[in-house]
């Protein structure tokens, strides 16, 4: 902890966030997930910051930890440029002897109550004009799994690259692997005549990566950002509890559903379920199988 405390203090001073004479007086654990530890940091002058630490109890080496946090910083900065939904202000990434940490603005989070407002703001973000291709300048991560973002002119080509990466990592049982390859072959037909304009995507916006600030406004965090099909955002949002009718009503009032929405939505869910299979193992295999069967049965060539 002393290594983390002194490193965070040095980082805040280097970024001119606190005076050279200021000191950290407390680092309160505020939970964290399977990979990260999280702390609320307070200084003698009353400043507060949020810190996530990675590496102390994981198999990731220091360089991997730094890359994961740097891509998070980059994603948050991208959202702040567009400025439609609040995200924590990113401050810096620092190295530790056996890992890394990230410092962001500390926001007093509370459960999201106004899902309609989230729907309106997310649709506004997805409607912001961006590049004429799909991807990002750098690869990033979804959870702890690498996420390739090489630029593609075609959404189908980009999506195929993403799915192939996850399928290869998963080494699915032979029957499912055959179905996965069949899906890849059918992508051009499934997306035929679908007009897709690149949107800035959070990339992992399940309910655990969204909350509200002290004024009730939505806050999103822990991004896996890229420029992609806006419907892909909804794939993660339908999983693990999901969001309610108020969200979808508000979102689709700005961006109506297009023909084939349900089939494409299952493909986007599949991406996240295979990713969870790669992260957590066999308990997600049944969902992979179910989604593959439903997609292929809905779109018979």
The label of the residue with tokens 């680092």 reads 27
The alpha carbon of 151 is separated from its chain's Cα centroid by a whole number of angstroms, namely 18
Q: What H or E segment, with its residue span, contains residue 2?
A: helix 2-14
Positions annotated as catalytic residues are: 204
Question: Quick check: 227 and 130 in contact, CB under 8 A?
Answer: yes
Beta bridge partners of 24: 43
Tokens representing residue 249 in the block: 């009503």
C-alpha torsion 269→275→279→285, nearest 10: 60
Name residues whose C-beta falls within 8 Å of residue 205's C-beta, 6 or more positions apart in sequence. Answer: 122, 220, 233, 236, 237
| Angstrom distance (rounded) from CA 276 to CA 274 | 5
Count of other CB atoms within 10 angstroms of residue 155: 20
| Angstrom distance (rounded) from CA 124 to CA 111 | 22
Q: Please give the backbone phi and psi of residue 180, each rounded to the nearest 5 degrees, phi first.
A: -60, -45
| Angstrom distance (rounded) from CA 30 to CA 52 | 10
Could you please report the per-residue DSSP string of 65-76? HHHHHHHHHHHH
The alpha carbon of 97 is separated from its chain's Cα centroid by a whole number of angstroms, namely 27
Tokens representing residue 77 in the block: 């900065």
| Angstrom distance (rounded) from CA 212 to CA 247 | 14
The alpha carbon of 11 is separated from its chain's Cα centroid by a whole number of angstroms, namely 25
């Amino acid at each position: 902890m002393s290594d983390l405390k002194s490193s965070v203090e040095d980082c805040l001073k280097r970024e001119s966030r606190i005076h050279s004479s200021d000191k950290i007086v407390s680092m309160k654990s505020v939970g964290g997930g399977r990979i990260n530890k999280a702390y609320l940091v307070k200084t003698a002058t009353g400043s507060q910051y949020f810190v996530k630490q990675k590496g102390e109890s994981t198999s990731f080496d220091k360089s991997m930890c730094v890359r994961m946090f740097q891509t998070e910083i980059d994603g948050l900065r991208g959202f702040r440029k567009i400025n439609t939904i609040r995200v924590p202000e990113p401050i810096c990434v620092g190295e530790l002897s056996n890992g890394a940490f990230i410092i962001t603005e500390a926001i007093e989070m509370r459960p999201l109550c106004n899902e309609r407002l989230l729907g309106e703001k997310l649709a506004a973000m997805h409607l912001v004009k961006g590049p004429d291709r799909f991807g990002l300048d750098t690869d990033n991560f979804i959870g702890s799994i690498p996420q390739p973002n090489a630029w593609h002119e075609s959404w189908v080509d980009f999506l195929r690259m993403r799915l192939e990466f996850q399928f290869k990592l998963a080494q699915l049982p032979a029957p499912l692997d055959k179905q996965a390859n069949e899906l890849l072959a059918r992508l051009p037909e499934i997306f035929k005549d679908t007009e897709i304009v690149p949107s800035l995507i959070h990339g992992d916006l399940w309910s655990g990566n969204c909350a509200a600030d002290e004024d009730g406004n939505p806050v999103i965090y822990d991004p896996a950002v890229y420029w992609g099909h806006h419907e892909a955002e909804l794939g993660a949002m339908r999983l693990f509890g999901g969001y309610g009718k108020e969200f979808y009503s508000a979102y689709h009032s700005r961006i109506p559903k297009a023909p084939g929405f349900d089939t494409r939505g299952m493909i986007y869910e599949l991406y996240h379920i295979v990713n969870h299979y790669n992260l957590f193992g066999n308990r997600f295999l049944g969902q992979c199988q179910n989604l593959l069967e439903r997609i292929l049965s809905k779109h018979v060539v």
